[in-house]
Amino acid sequence: MTRNRVFHSVLLATGVLLLAACATNRPPGYLDEKYFQAEAKYYEKFQHEGTTVYCATKDSRSGLGLMPYYGTPRCITEADLRQMVRDVRRDY
């Protein structure tokens, strides 16, 4: 009986350690990148003078994004879009 309890305790502890190891296996900034990619899909991506620019245009699905289309194209650099996503995540 005691042997059975020890075995279950060891099995449970191993499972908890394995779960903790899997949960911390992601690189730093993983969620930031995931949220950025989710937001970036709403814009058209262009290269302008060596800089990546995301634009809300009539043809893009930007009505669903943080920077909607209001009749004229609006563009933002990749760094600024990343900062906007971080700010929105921080505020919520």
Q: Which secondary structure element, helix H or strand E, spans residue 55, and what is its range?
A: strand 51-56
Query: Over the chain, what is the mean pLDDT?
Result: 78
- What pTM was computed for the model? 0.64
pLDDT value of position 26 = 67
Q: What's residue 29's pLDDT? A: 76
Residue 44 lies in a domain: yes
pLDDT at 83 over 90: yes
In this predicted structure, the answer to whether residue 37 has a pLDDT above a threshold of 90 is yes
> Count of domains in the chain?
1
**Structural domain includes residue 69:** yes
Domain interval for residue 86? 27-91
Instruction: Give SS3 for 9.
Output: helix
Using pLDDT thresholds of 50, 70 and 90, give the confidence band for residue 89. Answer: confident
Is 4 inside a domain boundary?
no
